[in-house]
Chains A and B, each alone.
Chain A
Amino acid sequence: NAGVTQTPKFQVLKTGQSMTLQCAQDMNHNSMYWYRQDPGMGLRLIYYSASEGTTDKGEVPNGYNVSRLNKREFSLRLESAAPSQTSVYFCASTLLGNGELFFGEGSRLTVL
């Protein structure tokens, strides 16, 4: 049972480059989330998708875009990476009404 799978696990970008972080869950969950985790800042919500076909901004959406490709997959795109986007990114998912949030293993992004 894979749970929440994120790719890539590590990535180094130069300022201005673009990239997409992929996330897939195999638990038939309705809602999916993208968080970033920075030292001293805790987990901050970037974007979420309450259900297939919907996406909404979270606390720190600037510089990011998302796509809910289908029920399983939720991708996060950085169109023009900036050093301030150096962080660890976590995808998470939950079953609507369930209240239990499950995380992937994280994607560690460095922007030079």
Chain B
Amino acid sequence: GQQLNQSPQSMFIQEGEDVSMNCTSSSIFNTWLWYKQDPGEGPVLLIALYKAGELTSNGRLTAQFGITRKDSFLNISASIPSDVGIYFCAGQTRDNYGQNFVFGPGTRLSVLP
């Protein structure tokens, strides 16, 4: 099935550093979503983006909906140990049958003290 391209696949950073990850697709989406998943838990919604060019923040997290509607990025500023986890992007489209969601494979973030 269709999947989004997400990079980097994994990253190791020092505590206090900023992090940037992105998601790209060949398809256009109505909504972009960013999730964080901790081990043994379900994905938790961090940020939702609804319009091309939209820039939205949630605390130290900032995400943008690409102008072409085919990409999105997530930045984390001043990383802390609890930022460790897997970050997923998702694109949403709508058709006559309802809403469809496509997911990226995830970026695994490790924060070194």
Contacts and interface: CB of A to CB of B under 8 A. Distances in A.
Contacts, number: 60
Please classify how large the interface on chain B is, using the bins under 10, 10 to 19, 20 to 34, 35 or more.
20 to 34
B92 interface: yes
A99 B33 contact: yes
Given A99-B50, A101-B90, A106-B42, A94 B99 contact: yes
A97 B97 CA distance: 12
Interface string B60-104: 000000000000000000000000000010101010011101011
Given A99-B30, A101-B90, A50 B48 contact: no
Interface of B: 1, 3, 30-31, 33, 35, 40-45, 48, 50, 88, 90, 92, 94, 97-99, 101, 103-106
5 contacts: A4-B42, A59-B1, A100-B48, A103-B44, A106-B41
